[in-house]
Structure 1
Amino acid sequence: MQTTRPFRILGIQQIALGGLDKGALRRLWVDLLGLHPHGNYRSERENVDEDIVVAGAGPFKVEVDLMQPINAEGKPRVHDPALNHFGLWVDDLRAAVTWLEGQGVRFAPGGIRKGAAGFDVTFIHPKGNEQFPLSGEGVLIELVQAPAEVISAFDRFAFATGGY
């Protein structure tokens, strides 16, 4: 398994993702997509055990909560629904797709194409299959090619703050 990732996730808006086993979510978000562990939160009252991971630096640093219920039968049900889909800025979409496919990640049909906003996009399928067992763990994930100005702003800020 190749460990050097040839792309970067530049940022997302805050999201919370739920599943019955946060370990599968952590494998996707930390091991494959490269977000960084930041902390943990557990609350019996909220029925949640979550790992907090982050993407980006400074104002680009965004929290992503990987949640599982403490009691799968209890409420609130932090894993239902998991989420529909959301977009991630990627600095090199083609490299990301090639590398992730090599890791066993399944993509939705259609490949890389122009999205509604005019950027190249592709989607990580919410479910794995025999050929590509890794997936979005129940969530459709849109990877969006970041335009030059987003990449440049990220690089300038990350360099200036010593982040990423």
Structure 2
Amino acid sequence: MDKPFKVLGLAQVAIGGEDKARLRNLWINLLGFEFQSNFVSVAENVNEDICVIGKGIHEIELDLMQPLDPLNKPAVHLPALNHVGLWVDDLPKAVDWLSAQGMHFAPGGIRKGAAGHDIAFIHPKGSSDFPLSGEGVLIELVQAPAELIAGLCN
């Protein structure tokens, strides 16, 4: 059966948490997303930061959502998300630097992923030795192939 549309790529990821400040620290301060604007809606029970990475057709939006009232619906922080995959240009350097910042990685270290790219996972929860985490979200860091790096970095 032919579909009347095509999925062209990742446009947006929305991640919720009870403490948006912690989400901002992870996604903006440590991973380098750029804050664009804030959206607040009582009807949607959300205080949301709109962030982006990339430019033009390669721009991806990331919405960091915190409920105005965690006891009200919709519960924008539940579930946070299963996982999100991010292309990186130098996976070993990313893992080393983030680890030095206190980031908790899932067991297994850097390894081949299902699509054949090297990957590493940021653990959804911190630990006593590595307090920084994905704030409830499993984050897959994926080594970008050379042609993707060339296309996105030039």
Shared fold (TM-score greater than 0.5)? yes
Name the residue aligned to 1:118: 116
The secondary structure found in structure 2 opposite 1:99 is helix
Measure, in 1, the Cα distance between the counterparts of 2:119 and 2:11: 17
Name the residue aligned to 2:78: 80
Gaps in structure 1 of 5+ consecutive residues: 1-10, 157-164
Measure, in 2, the Cα distance between the counterparts of 1:154 and 1:88: 13
Residue 128 (structure 1) aligned with residue 126 (structure 2): yes
Cα deviation for residue 43 of structure 1 reads 0.5
Letter in 1 for 2:130: F
Scaled by the length of structure 2, what TM-score is found? 0.92
Scaled by the length of structure 1, what TM-score is found? 0.87
Cα deviation for residue 12 of structure 1 reads 5.4
- Give yes or no for contact 2:11–2:59 (8 Å, CA) kept in 1: no
Q: How large is the Cα RMSD of the aligned pairs?
A: 1.1
How many pairs align? 146
Name the residue aligned to 2:46: 48
Letter in 1 for 2:123: H
Once the two structures are superposed, residues 87-124 of structure 1 have per-residue CA deviations (whole angstroms, 9 ceiling, x without a partner) of: 00001100000000000000000000000000000000
- Give yes or no for contact 1:41–1:51 (8 Å, CA) kept in 2: yes
The secondary structure found in structure 1 opposite 2:97 is helix
Once the two structures are superposed, residues 60-104 of structure 1 have per-residue CA deviations (whole angstroms, 9 ceiling, x without a partner) of: 111100000011111100000000001000011000000000000
Measure, in 2, the Cα distance between the counterparts of 1:93 and 1:57: 21
Higher relative contact order (CA closer than 8 Å, sequence separation 6+): 1
Name the residue aligned to 1:105: 103
Cα deviation for residue 13 of structure 1 reads 4.1
Identity over aligned pairs, percent: 62
